[in-house]
Amino acid sequence: MGGGSSVIREKRVVIVGCGYAGANMAKLLMGKCKVTIIDSREYFHHCIGSLRASVEPGFENKILVPFAQAWGDSFKQGKVETVDPEKNVVILETGEEIPYDYVVIATGSSGPFPGKLGLNVITIEDAKTHFKKIQEQIKAADKITIIGAGAVGVEMAGEIAVDYPKKEVTVVTNAENVVNGPFKDKLRDSIKKQLTDLGVKLVFDETVANLSELPKDGSSPCVVKTNKGTEINTDLVIVCIGMSSNCDAYKEYFADCMDDYNNLKVNQYLQVEGYSNVFAIGDCNDATSPKMALKAEGQSEIVAKNIKALETKGSLSPYKELTSIISVSIGRNGGATQLKAAIMGSFFTKKLKSNDMMYGKFWSLLNQKAPH
């Protein structure tokens, strides 16, 4: 936070949620003010590596980073029941109240496993059990259908196709292309080519019509049916669509500040509309699309500056959305990356991300040595 930080030394900042946004926020504020960081889980879930951990046995050990060794007593494990902006307290499920001068809401988003783990998966052991189970299911299945061709769906297909070249992998999407969003067609073309070269079948512009009836736990074979009459015999269905913001902690007092997707509405300084001392960062706010860890980290930097500015009567910094940046891995050696106007292929993407899914960075962020 630089000079003037003594002014904020006595200020109590509570960070609700310790994903990419919250963890980076904690790193920026730790030692500069009185920080409490709260998460319902006992571990940081590096979900960027989840799809590798669904296929490669042992990789699950690299993407679950314990909070216990990260920040000592500044970390508190527990579900936040509500943030009360009238009393300026965060209230835990246990009834414990934690007062704040500033609160940073970073409760992120949920989606289907294996991209995300359920919020009820509290212990590392439980999380590991989930990954070991899907590793076995993928190994046992001959025909796998992935629903959704966003970055998560295509990365899932790539992980399976690279490690199990004989399996029949099909990706079904109602979109007309892979990885929709503000990206160049050259990026999409590269991803499509890499997947089809691996034997992955891509079905575009078709909606799965029997989604609610499909077994999502791999318990039995099924037929995936689309609105256009396509039928795909499948041993295992993996759903890679349907993210939503985790709003349990704020829906009580901030209902008027939520959009239709349960995101908290923030102003350009990332303050929740109508509150100068309540910030929201990462997937749970309405500032970004598509939502990304990279942007969540950038937002924490803006909020660190703005808390200081509020205490020192400085000017607030606006958040500027990063667009045209994405890195999509296709197995551990492939993928494509867009950095502004430039599209890079497998060689660059392997170095940046695919080789190890960047897991080491997050062990460092949480002050620990990464396992090999």
Ligand X SMILES: Cc1cc2nc3c(=O)[nH]c(=O)nc-3n(C[C@H](O)[C@H](O)[C@H](O)COP(=O)(O)OP(=O)(O)OC[C@H]3O[C@@H](n4cnc5c(N)ncnc54)[C@H](O)[C@@H]3O)c2cc1C
Chain residues that interact with ligand X, rule: CB under 6 A: 16-22, 38-41, 47-48, 50-51, 79-80, 106-109, 111, 115-116, 119, 152, 246, 248-249, 282-283, 291-294, 296, 327
Q: Taking the complex as a whole, how short is the minimal distance between the CB of residue 19 and ligand X, in angstroms? A: 2
The DSSP bridge partners found for residue 335 are: 329
Instruction: State the virtual CA torsion across 351, 352, 353, 354 in degrees, nearest 10.
Output: -30
Residues 6 or more apart whose CB falls under 8 angstroms from that of 98 comprise 14, 36, 38, 76, 89, 90, 91, 92
In this complex, which beta carbon is closest to ligand X, that of residue 80 or of residue 278?
Answer: 80
Q: Taking the complex as a whole, how short is the minimal distance between the CB of residue 203 and ligand X, in angstroms? A: 21
Amino acid code (one letter) for 5: S
Please return the burial class of 58, using the count of CB atoms within 10 Å of its CB with bins 0-12, 13-18 and 19+. Answer: exposed
In this complex, which beta carbon is closest to ligand X, that of residue 73 or of residue 229?
Answer: 73
In this complex, which beta carbon is closest to ligand X, that of residue 116 or of residue 192?
Answer: 116
Q: Taking the complex as a whole, how short is the minimal distance between the CB of residue 313 and ligand X, in angstroms? A: 29
Q: Taking the complex as a whole, how short is the minimal distance between the CB of residue 228 and ligand X, in angstroms? A: 27
- Do 103 and 13 form a contact (C-beta atoms < 8 A)? yes
User: At 152, is the secondary structure helix, strand, or coil?
Assistant: helix
In this complex, which beta carbon is closest to ligand X, that of residue 45 or of residue 305?
Answer: 45
Q: Taking the complex as a whole, how short is the minimal distance between the CB of residue 221 and ligand X, in angstroms? A: 25
The kind and range of the H/E element at 144 are: strand 143-147
- Please give the order of strands across the beta sheet that includes 80-84: 80-84, 89-92, 97-99
In this complex, which beta carbon is closest to ligand X, that of residue 152 or of residue 236?
Answer: 152
Q: Taking the complex as a whole, how short is the minimal distance between the CB of residue 327 and ligand X, in angstroms? A: 6
R_g of the chain, CA atoms, integer Å: 21
User: At 363, is the secondary structure helix, strand, or coil?
Assistant: helix
In this complex, which beta carbon is closest to ligand X, that of residue 158 or of residue 311?
Answer: 158
- What is the separation of C-alpha 125 from the centre of its chain, rounded to a whole number of angstroms? 20
